[in-house]
Amino acid sequence: MTIDSASQHPDAWQTAVKRIAPQIVRIRTQESSGTGFLVARMKTGPRCGLATAAHVVEHASREAGTITLVHEGSGRPLELTAGKRRLQLDSGADTAALVFENETFELPADLVPLIPAEKFLMPGAAVGWLGYPDVWPEQLCFFGGRVSCYSESEHAYLLDGVSIDGLSGGPVFHLAPDGEPVIIGVLSEYISNRTPRGPLPGLSMARDVYRFHAMADQFRSWDEKPPKG
């Protein structure tokens, strides 16, 4: 099922960035850096669930390395050793779910919603994405473009816009007709247009968020019956 995107107010994108920014973190490992965003959190406990790109955390998962989360405004990083996290990787789809106990960050209780699992955006829809680029890793940066196409079989979007190192794992979002942001994807990679004369501008790829609905459902069940330990 397709869904349209609209923004009536000239400040709608700025307002959306302010709404989403508090649930975004910078991710650092020994081998890579990237971005992640809060998908779910318990109302009855400190457990939180992040979405990111698999390649950002894959080496740390394989080598049992530390994953460091940095949340703007919270004052100090959160070091997640192998025993302090749960990682679910889908390397083929380049998505990862990271579950951890948060007693460090001031994270919002009211999260920006995910697009319903059965819906997707049509080509031409305006979208934005956020992340921490390696060229300026201390700053959360906004990028924008339009949906070039959506592949139902790949659960992926091609986006007419830029992605650079450090942005992988960041949220891709659109504006609903009422101007509220809705997260539609996880930024995965930039695909350059390679020619004999050298690379030319290409397209960004984002994976859709259907895989993360199961995580959100799990957190809701934990609130109804909190897990032991």
DSSP character at residue 74: S
- Paired with 46 in beta bridges are none
Q: Is the pLDDT reported for residue 221 higher than 90?
A: no
In the structure, what pLDDT confidence band is assigned to residue 91 with cuts at 50, 70 and 90? very high
For range 126-145, the mean pLDDT: 95
Q: To the nearest 5 percent, what fractions of the chain are helix, strand and coil?
A: 15, 45, 40
- Percentage of the chain lying above the pLDDT 70 cut: 92
Close Cβ partners of 131 (under 8 Å, ≥ 6 residues apart): 24, 34, 35, 140, 141, 143, 166, 167, 168, 169, 170, 187
Q: Is the pLDDT reported for residue 115 higher than 70?
A: yes
The residues of the chain that CATH labels 2.40.10.10 are 2-20+113-212, 23-110
Look at residue 13 in the predicted model and tell me its pLDDT. Answer: 94
Are 187 and 166 in contact by the 8 Å Cβ rule? The answer is no
Close Cβ partners of 125 (under 8 Å, ≥ 6 residues apart): 4, 5, 146, 147, 174
For range 113-117, the mean pLDDT: 95
Close Cβ partners of 36 (under 8 Å, ≥ 6 residues apart): 24, 25, 27, 50, 51, 52, 56, 69, 98, 169, 170
For range 153-167, the mean pLDDT: 94
Task: Among 1.20.1250.20, 2.40.50.100, 3.30.428.10, 2.40.10.10, name the CATH number for the domain at 23-110.
Answer: 2.40.10.10
In the structure, what pLDDT confidence band is assigned to residue 37 with cuts at 50, 70 and 90? very high
Overall fold of domain 2-20+113-212: Thrombin, subunit H (2.40.10)
For range 148-153, the mean pLDDT: 96
For range 180-202, the mean pLDDT: 85
pTM of the complete model: 0.91
